[in-house]
Amino acid sequence: MGYAVMLLLVFLCHEVSSISILPHKHQTISLLKFKNTFTIDPSASGDCHPKTSSWNTSRDCCSWDGVICDDITGHVIELDLRCSGLVGTIDSNSSLFQLSHLQRLDLSFNNFSNSHISPEFGKFSNLKNLDLSHSYFSGQIPYEISHLSNLQSLCLSDNSIRLGPQNFEMLLQNLTQLRELDLTSINISSTIPLNFSSHLTTLSLFETGLYGLIPESIFHLPNLETLDLSSNYELSGYFPKTKWNSSASLVELHLSSVNFSCNLPESLGYHLTSVRYSSSLQP
């Protein structure tokens, strides 16, 4: 962004601050700075509606498209810029990270031009929902993501990223509140750890380079409804032989292109309505 434009922006912010943006001055400025680090291309990641184009200081930032504030404190607690045509990078110095009260952040379906996922994302300590899927991130998932111990959903799917210096188990260790985990098409390249949150309802690990034996305990997760382990060619497993039905809440199970023993047990999941698997890898 040109220096002149930046100056103009700073000037504008000062001009208007005395009128409408006073109560949320800092977060208004952070949001506008964030907006201005991107160009808008509605077709950057699908056919999208550019929410930030309507952001301006004629209205309180809490009423901007995609922004939700806490009724009492006035802090921005939700930012939903899914499919907003954003094109540009998110660096560690991005003003996004000044919105420290965020509980929900959805930046999916944009084009962050191969930015790395900044370790700063790990500082949103109130975050419950984080969706960075399908947004052209690259590099490693930073270790700091595992600090987000209040996360209920984490979606990082469809980016060319890989698990960072920590292993899969370490990533999960603090995430004891997770309901939904979607790591589709990420390079994990490890075995499946044993300790998923017992709250988990949806687990998508499609095409993640997982290998080894599927731990039987995964079928016994008390709240799991959807499990997708397909397209992990070096993963093998079998249905649990006992006591599956008593606890199973599983509704959808995807095991295509997994080396899976196809003998459906009598104790097949009680609620199971959809099972997809192929026997092509059977010995």
Residues near ligand NAG (CB under 6 A) are: 44, 54, 56, 58-59, 87, 91, 93, 111, 113, 136, 146-147, 149, 162, 170, 172-176, 187, 189, 195, 197, 209, 236, 245-246, 259, 266-267, 270, 281, 283
Q: Pick the closer one to ligand NAG by CB: 72 or 283.
A: 283
- Which stretch of DSSP H or E encloses residue 33? helix 25-36
Closest approach, Cβ 276 to ligand NAG, in A, equals 18
Closest approach, Cβ 151 to ligand NAG, in A, equals 11
Closest CA to 254 of 222, 283, 278: 278
Closest approach, Cβ 84 to ligand NAG, in A, equals 14
Closest approach, Cβ 59 to ligand NAG, in A, equals 6
Q: Pick the closer one to ligand NAG by CB: 58 or 126.
A: 58
Q: Position 35: which residue type?
A: K
- d(CA 170, CA 65) in angstroms, rounded, equals 36
Closest CA to 79 of 49, 59, 99, 60: 99
Asked whether the beta carbons of 161 and 139 are under 8 A apart, the reply is: yes
Asked whether the beta carbons of 217 and 195 are under 8 A apart, the reply is: no
Residue with the closest Cβ to ligand NAG? Answer: 146
Closest approach, Cβ 131 to ligand NAG, in A, equals 18
3-state SS class at 208: coil
Q: Pick the closer one to ligand NAG by CB: 93 or 278.
A: 93
- d(CA 52, CA 254) in angstroms, rounded, equals 37
Based on DSSP, count helices (H) and strands (E) in the chain, helices before strands. 4, 18
Closest approach, Cβ 58 to ligand NAG, in A, equals 4
Q: Pick the closer one to ligand NAG by CB: 138 or 176.
A: 176
Q: Pick the closer one to ligand NAG by CB: 144 or 252.
A: 144
- Which stretch of DSSP H or E encloses residue 80? strand 76-80
Q: Pick the closer one to ligand NAG by CB: 72 or 246.
A: 246
What are the tokens at 211?
Answer: 């290998």
